[in-house]
Each structure stands twice: as structure tokens, then as C-alpha cells.
Amino acid sequence: MNAIELLKADHEKVRGLLSQLTDTTKRAEKTRTQLLEQIRMELDVHTQIEEEIFYPAFKEAVGESDDEATVFEALEEHRAAGELVLPDLLATDVTSDRFSGRAKVLKELVEHHADEEEKEMFKTARQVLGREQLDELGAQMAARKKELMEMGPDRIELLKKQRGQVGSEQAPPRQSLQ
Ligand SMILES: [Fe+2]
Ligand SMILES: [Fe+2]
């Protein structure tokens, strides 16, 4: 599988899982808990391989152009989904009405993000990255994905935190905004 096929297959899987989740009612406590755990794993691993492997390669290939801006937008969407909405959902009682609302917001956010990647970033990637490089990136991501899946949620959480710290270092200090 090349890089784009791999990432698109991930998107399909997560879209399916999120649809299943939003189709459940608050009576489906066990199903909701299981689906949520699966979604968390899929999303975290997917985000990690994109940020570690695919985005840097894409950024390098497009240089400083409008396409570079799509990377920054995508990173912010990762942050919104992975560091705000998903943790909120994980902390919400699965038998509550609030859970349904939050699950729906996560689904909409992920769908919007995945659609945009597919329509914009991957389209450009096909042009700027050669077939050989796409194959190579695909193999790299498949190997890293396997590694991450075996790590389990706690260690992945740690990686996520490290990524978040890098992000906040780049942000202006809060005081300067006041
Ligand atoms: Fe993404
Ligand atoms: Fe993606």
C-alpha cells in the first residue's frame, strides 16, 4: 500500500467506527465503551504517523507555498480533535445525553478533516511526491503503525503530550496576548 492508500484506508475505518458510535443510544453502555476505545487508538495512531512521517515529507516537497498552509491547518485540526474533543469524550459518562452530543461533534470534526486531506493534501501529494516516495512512505508508516498499536494507549498518550509541548512552544506566550 502506498502512503495515500494507507491513510485513506485508515480514514474509512475511523469514519465507519464513528458512524457506529453515533448510531448507538445511551443504553448501549458496553458497545459505546468498546467503540470509543477503538476510535481513540485508531485516531491517535493515525495522527501520530501523519505528523511523524507524512506531513514532514509533504511539507518538504511543497516548500513555502499555499500548500504549506494546509499542513498548519491540518495540525490545528489534529489538536482540536485529539487534545480537546476526544479527551472530553473519554471523560464523559457513556450513558449520558451529553455523550451523544460530544460523539457527534468528534465525528463531524474528523469527517471534515479527513475529507479535506483527501481532496486537497493527498491530491497535491500525488503530484509532488513520486510514486517511489509514496511507496516508501507507505512502508514506513505501516511499520510505525504496527509499533504504535503494540505500545498501548498509555505510551501513546505520552507521545501525544510530547507533541503538544512542541506545539505550545511555538505559540506566543499567553501574556503577550493580554
Ligand atoms: Fe490528519
Ligand atoms: Fe488523515
Ligand 2 midpoint to CA 150 (Å): 20
**pLDDT attached to residue 134:** 98
* Rounded-to-integer distance, Cα 104 and Cα 100, Å: 6
pLDDT at residue 177, as a whole number: 45
At 66 the pLDDT is: 80
Q: How far is the CA of 177 from the centre of ligand 2 (A)?
A: 32
- Whichever domain contains 16, its CATH number is 1.20.120
172, part of any domain: no
What string of DSSP letters covers 14-76?
Answer: HHHHHHHHHH--TT-HHHHHHHHHHHHHHHHHHHHHIIIIIHHHHHHHH-SSHHHHHHHHHHH
The answer to the question of residue 60 being in a domain is yes
- Is 2's pLDDT higher than 90? yes
pLDDT grade, residue 165 (50/70/90)? low
Which stretches of 33-171 are assigned E, i.e. beta strand? Answer: none
pLDDT value for 47:
97
Q: Is residue 114 part of a domain?
A: yes
pLDDT at site 166: 60
Ranking 131-135, 147-151, 160-164 by mean pLDDT, the lowest is 160-164
- On whether residue 178 sits in a domain, the answer given is no
Q: Which residues contact 88 (CB under 8 A, 6 or more apart)?
A: 102
End-to-end CA distance of the chain, in Å?
49
Note whether 99 and 89 are within 8 A (CB): yes
Whole-number Å distance, alpha carbon 178 to ligand 2 midpoint, is 35
Percent of the chain with pLDDT over 90: 81
pLDDT for position 68: 86
Cell of 41: 487508538
Task: Report whether 134 contacts 56 (CB < 8 A).
Answer: no
Cα 27 to ligand 1 centroid, rounded to whole Å: 31
Give the pLDDT confidence of 31-44 residue by residue, as tens digits: 999 999 999 999 99
Q: Looking at the domain assignment, is residue 86 inside a domain?
A: yes
Distance 110 CA to ligand 1 centre (A): 8
Average pLDDT over every residue of 122-148 = 96
The pLDDT tens digits for 19-31 are: 999 999 999 999 9
Task: Give the cell for residue 94.
Answer: 457513556
Domain that holds residue 130: 3-167
Is 118 a domain residue? Answer: yes
Residue 121 lies in a domain: yes
CA 133-135-141 angle, 5° bins: 100
- The HSE-up count of residue 7 (CA atoms within 13 Å, CB side) is 29
Looking at the 3D structure of the chain, how many domains does it have?
Answer: 1
Question: What's the mean pLDDT when you consider all of the chain?
Answer: 91
Residue 117 lies in a domain: yes
pLDDT in tens, 83-109: 999 999 999 999 999 999 999 999 999
